[in-house]
Amino acid sequence: MTATIIDGKAEAAKLRADVALGAAAFAAAYGRKPGLAVVLVGNDPASEVYVGSKVRLTREVGMESFEHRLSPDIRQEDLLSLVRQLNADPSVDGILVQLPLPGHLDAGSVIAAIDPGKDVDGLHPENAGRLMNGLPGLAPCTPLGAMLLVSRTLETVSGLNAVVLGRSVLVGKPVAQMLLSANATVTMAHSQTRDLPDLCRRADILIAAVGRPEMVRGNWIKPGAVVIDVGINRLTAGADGKAGRLVGDVAYEEARTVAGAITPVPGGVGPMTIACLLQNTLRAASMRASA
């Protein structure tokens, strides 16, 4: 068996095309473009790349992009002041503060200060509570992207066994809630889980989001399972000569001989994350306009 490769790039392109149509319709109806403000504190190289991609793609789909690059030593109160300004700005529909923040800043307080209706990262406690209670709101982008790829691969997840590796508030917990809402039977696993390989072998859907390169081996996977690899890890120097290579949390070459379908790294969930951010921004704009 060789797994079907789930092409996140192609699916993300389709979603961005849909968002572009929606953004054009919004501009025609309301006389302005949806607006996304991205806040980058410091000069972390990976964050700069992500922000650059977000700004470029925001403009490509016909939205306004407001970029705020701040000094790495900015005070907490000054960052909160900027967030409050963006909350009050009628041209801004979505606010994204790029994480991680420098160590002296409290990310939780910054996220909590964002207007929940503009929280396009879906991390505000109010939006997290809405997701938990099955209420409409803005959901985190990476779990949204992962679920869209699952739905493109399977007719239904109802009744299937899903295992989520990782319990972070960014991916693990929200994607588990989304799977529950779709009537899957969900098990969350983490560093203290016993007999982890055996647990994974029971999964019809396996979502790996632990941040450990190639932790999930091929013999952990149930034959025919759908494997969604959220991890993105850059290998450091080693004897194998693979330094600098990007890998996921799943040993891809092993897994693709067992799984029914699998996302690659890169080119899987990553492109969907930004596409879902744009979708969330359009949704936030529409909700604000209709209100």
Strand partners, 41: 70
Cβ pair 204, 163 in contact under 8 A:
no
As to burial, measured by CB atoms within 10 angstroms (0-12 exposed, 13-18 middle, 19+ buried), residue 266 is middle
- The CB density around residue 43, as the number of other CB atoms within 10 Å, is 10
Residue of 98, 115, 204, 229 with catalytic role? 98
Residue of 33, 54, 173, 222 with catalytic role? 54
Pairwise CA distance, residues 94 & 54, whole Å: 12
The first and second tokens of residue 246, run together, are: 């990007």
Strand partners, 247: 233
Strand partners, 36: 65, 94
Q: How many CA atoms lie within 13 A of 107 on its CB side?
A: 15
Q: How many CA atoms lie within 13 A of 177 on its CB side?
A: 21
98 catalytic? Reply is: yes
Residue of 93, 115, 119, 121 with catalytic role? 121
Tell me which residues are annotated as active site: 54, 98, 121
